[in-house]
Amino acid sequence: MMYIIDSANLEKIRECVEFYPVAGVTTNPTIISREKTDFISLIKSIREIIGPDRMLHIQTTALEAGQIIKEAVALKEIVGGDFYIKIPVGPEGLKATMALKKMGIKVTETAIFTQQQAMLAAIAGADFVAPYVNRLDNIVSDGVHVVGEIVEMFKQHNISSKVLAASFKTVEQVHKIAMVGGHAVTINTELFHTLTYHPLTQYAIDDFIVDWESCYGKTDILGLIDQSK
């Protein structure tokens, strides 16, 4: 499963890329607007931090297919590398997706809430479909169940589009997406830290240090190697 950063904050992206096995970055107009800075230099800086080989998904703000296509072409030119245009699902989005696929531009169809939205997006040619897990849970639906059915449906119909689950608040949601075969999750940087932290892990590490120091004092392994030369 791929882990993707759902953020446009340069400092947080830099930190996540340094410490975690990150496959790319996703943004949307809400995430971009939080940074309150120049859009073009922001997306160029994200590309600079993550390099050309990690995915960068940037969302269109256009509502009509012709404009979506123009934005996709221009954004791809500006950021380069492994670029995906994110398009909210709907008639105009699907029309744009079909055209962009013919032009060789990769598409992530986003804001997906139902299995059939995902199916149509995939058949239109979307490389990724992005169902919103936590927002489904918030309307007393079941985000994990919807993602699981999309994964299963793609398998049954031999569809190569991947499921990039989005909108997460908890470790449990992320884990359950892994268990139903989601191909990728996009999560905020705080959730990356929460996923890796456990107090018993920290307890074990503290214990190892105490036991080591009771025998070797403050000298670490490299120190002992030096002494042995």
Q: Which is nearer to ligand G3P, 69 or 187 (CB)?
A: 187
**In the stretch 146-175, what mask flags binding to ligand G3P with x, by CB under 6 A?**
--------------------xx--------
Q: How far is the CB of 132 from ligand G3P (least distance, A)?
A: 6
Q: 141: which 2 tokens?
A: 């639906």
Q: With CA atoms as reference, report the closest residue to 189 among 7, 59, 45, 1.
A: 7
For the chain, give me the number of helices (H) and strands (E)? Answer: 12, 8
Residue 108 contacts ligand G3P per CB under 6 A: no
Q: Which residues in 13-32 contact ligand G3P (CB under 6 A)?
A: 26, 28, 31
- Closest contact distance (angstroms) between CB of 163 and ligand G3P is 13
Whether residue 58 contacts residue 79, with contact meaning beta carbons closer than 8 Å, is answered with: yes
71 contacts: CB under 8 Å, gap ≥ 6: 60, 61, 62, 85
Contacts of 145-149 spanning 24+ positions with Cβ under 8 A: 146/113, 146/114, 146/115, 147/177, 147/180, 147/182, 148/180, 148/181, 149/115
183 contacts ligand G3P (rule: CB under 6 A): no
Does residue 134 interact with ligand G3P by CB under 6 A? yes
Interacting span for ligand G3P (CB under 6 A) from 33-41, 99-107, 129-137, 207-215? 129-137
Q: Does 132 bind ligand G3P (CB under 6 A)?
A: yes
Minimum gap (Å) between residue 22 Cβ and ligand G3P: 15
Residues 25, 56: contact at Cβ < 8 Å?
yes
Positions marked active-site: 86
Residue number with the smallest Cβ distance to ligand G3P: 167
Q: Give CA–CA dist 139/123, Å, rounded.
A: 27
Provide the binding-site residues for ligand G3P, judged by CB under 6 A: 6, 26, 28, 31, 132, 134-135, 166-167, 186
